[in-house]
Amino acid sequence: MNSASDPATNANMINWHEDIRKQFPALSQRLENTKLCYLDTAATSQKPQIVIDAMQHFYQQDNANVHRAAHTLSARATTQYEAVRHKVRQFIKAARFDEIIFTHGTTESINMVAYGLSACLATGDIILIDTAAHHANIVPWQELAKRTGAVIKPIPLDEHCHIDMAAYNELLALKPKVVALCHVSNALGTLNPVKDLVTKAKQQGALTLVDGAQAIAHMTVDVSDLDCDFYVFSGHKMYGPTGVGILYGRFEALDRLLPMMTGGEMIKTVSFDATQFGDLPNRLEAGTPPIAEVIGLGAAIDFIEGLPRERVQIHEQQLLQYLQQQLLQLGDISLYGVQTDNNTNVGAVAFNLANEHHQDVGILLDQQGVAVRCGHHCAMPLMHSLSLQGCCRASIGVYTHQGDIDQFIAALKEVKALLL
């Protein structure tokens, strides 16, 4: 975003980026004769044509249930479905294909782990939760604590909204049974040093779960290197469909989970005297799965892996820094979780305009074609720690370009002139 950079390099960047952007049909629309400026990717990403086509092809040509018939359509559907399991394994560098469980999203994935550990915790056992966690990484653990008598302890944040390492070390000395972390905060975009956090937790014997919903589209994730017990994410935040997610579990940890759902597909034998559950991954995938969505997720992985990923990550980081700089230059803006001298944010910037209500700001931006997210971002404990009722969040994706940021800043100037 440096205006003094080489013009030829800028031209190459524009051509490369426009080729990617053209693959997202939703971005070409206009809202009331205004070009759409989509800065809400952290809530859900737009979908490239390859994903739309893959799901349409399944419904038009291969629509059948998986694993349950000898006919051709079912065989084709099963082959495609299971191929995505192997694709996900390679994408996140898991050791085994049966460590990949298909779910309906991050929320279900975390619920499956929290329910599945019901027999592993007892009264007084400690569960540590990142204060910046999404509600989906808080409430399931609270329900587990109700069932078992375990105790929830939040991990405090420092003045930059990152985990307070001194406080974390003190909490780990209590020998927690579970540590639940977010890789990247959905509300603030702050990046946690999860590998170090996981290592420290495992040294104390804790099981570790990392919510990767906000990280998976922006970073290369290697679960074997992170060495976490569980890693979870959703398809719809990585350019895939809604209604599909992944629960990765280290096999020994995954194998300990009680099934949250029982019924078809997850059994080995059933009689009225007893039922024997099947092996992983089937044991944790009861019922008809989201077949078309899984196939769409596979296409989204193909899309991501077809990108020049290092180049994309550099572009996104430069774009996020440009966004932060432009907001600060606008004046009367409060940023949250941003360290301008040591930028560790990923994908999103949280802000408020003076003392104006975030919802008013969001509505006025929408009238100028700019889509941002406003509210508590399913992170009410985090908002409480910041003494906020809520905030605005602008978030970027692979298709976001500098023109989007400029359109957003121009619109926000209009909002500021109107409200202040």
C-alpha 265/C-alpha 337 separation (Å) is 44
Name which of 389, 379, 374 is nearest 139 in CA terms.
Answer: 379
Q: Percent of the chain having pLDDT more than 70?
A: 96
Which H/E stretch holds residue 386?
none
Count of C-beta atoms within a 10 Å radius of residue 97? 15
Asked whether the predicted pLDDT for residue 323 surpasses 50, the reply is yes
Asked whether the predicted pLDDT for residue 30 surpasses 70, the reply is yes
Name which of 379, 293, 305 is nearest 103 in CA terms.
Answer: 293
Asked whether the predicted pLDDT for residue 340 surpasses 60, the reply is yes
Are 301 and 313 found together in one domain? no
Q: Which residues are catalytic?
A: 378
Asked whether the predicted pLDDT for residue 184 surpasses 80, the reply is yes
Are 297 and 341 found together in one domain? no
Whether the Cβ atoms of residue 177 and residue 125 lie closer than 8 Å to each other: yes
Asked whether the predicted pLDDT for residue 342 surpasses 80, the reply is no
Query: What's the pLDDT band for 344 if we cut at 50, 70, 90?
Result: confident
Within a domain: 286:
yes
Whether the Cβ atoms of residue 232 and residue 362 lie closer than 8 Å to each other: no
- The range of the structural domain enclosing residue 113 comes to 52-305
- Residue 366's domain is classified under what CATH number? 3.90.1150.10
C-alpha dist (Å) from residue 350 to 64, 83, 137, 164, 259? 44, 38, 20, 20, 37
Strands 151-155 and 126-130: what pairing? Answer: parallel
Helix (H), strand (E) counts: the chain: 14, 17
Mean pLDDT over residues 376-391, rounded? 97
Question: Strands, DSSP E only, in 149-296?
Answer: 151-155, 178-182, 207-211, 230-234, 245-249, 267-270, 275-277
Within a domain: 394:
yes
Among 274, 305, 336, the domain boundary falls at 305
pLDDT tens by residue, 262-277: 998 899 999 999 999 9
Are 196 and 285 found together in one domain? yes
| The pLDDT of residue 13 | 55
Q: Percent of the chain having pLDDT more than 90?
A: 91
Are 279 and 297 found together in one domain? yes
Within a domain: 71:
yes
| The pLDDT of residue 253 | 97
| Averaged confidence pLDDT in the chain | 94
Mean pLDDT over residues 313-341, rounded? 93
C-alpha dist (Å) from residue 11 to 18, 309, 323? 11, 19, 20
Among 246, 281, 305, the domain boundary falls at 305
Within a domain: 288:
yes
Are 169 and 289 found together in one domain? yes
HEC-encoded secondary structure of 155-180: ECECCCCCECHHHHHHHHCCCCCEEE
Tokens 């996981």 — which residue? 198
Asked whether the predicted pLDDT for residue 47 surpasses 60, the reply is yes
Among 283, 305, 327, the domain boundary falls at 305
Burial class of 241 by CB neighbour count within 10 A (0 to 12, 13 to 18, 19+) = buried
User: 157 φ, ψ to 5°?
Assistant: -105, 155
| The pLDDT of residue 4 | 38
Are 241 and 282 found together in one domain? yes
| The pLDDT of residue 320 | 95
Whether the Cβ atoms of residue 211 and residue 133 lie closer than 8 Å to each other: yes
Whether the Cβ atoms of residue 259 and residue 266 lie closer than 8 Å to each other: yes
Query: What's the pLDDT band for 7 if we cut at 50, 70, 90?
Result: very low
Which H/E stretch holds residue 2?
none
Within a domain: 1:
no
Are 265 and 209 found together in one domain? yes
Mean pLDDT over residues 365-385, rounded? 97
Count of alpha carbons within 13 angstroms of residue 293, beta-carbon side: 17
Within a domain: 245:
yes
Are 331 and 296 found together in one domain? no
Asked whether the predicted pLDDT for residue 3 surpasses 80, the reply is no
Which residue has better confidence, 323 or 17?
A: 323
Are 59 and 42 found together in one domain? no
pLDDT tens by residue, 240-251: 999 999 999 999
Mean pLDDT over residues 178-183, rounded? 98
pLDDT tens by residue, 200-231: 999 999 999 999 999 999 999 999 999 999 99
Whether the Cβ atoms of residue 368 and residue 411 lie closer than 8 Å to each other: yes
Asked whether the predicted pLDDT for residue 2 surpasses 50, the reply is no
Are 379 and 283 found together in one domain? no
Asked whether the predicted pLDDT for residue 302 surpasses 50, the reply is yes
Are 280 and 146 found together in one domain? yes
- Residue 269's domain is classified under what CATH number? 3.40.640.10
| The pLDDT of residue 129 | 98
Query: What's the pLDDT band for 5 if we cut at 50, 70, 90?
Result: very low
Within a domain: 106:
yes
Within a domain: 2:
no
C-alpha 418/C-alpha 22 separation (Å) is 34
Are 233 and 315 found together in one domain? no
Tokens 């360290």 — which residue? 339
Q: How many domains does the chain have?
A: 2
C-alpha 357/C-alpha 344 separation (Å) is 27
Query: What's the pLDDT band for 347 if we cut at 50, 70, 90?
Result: very high
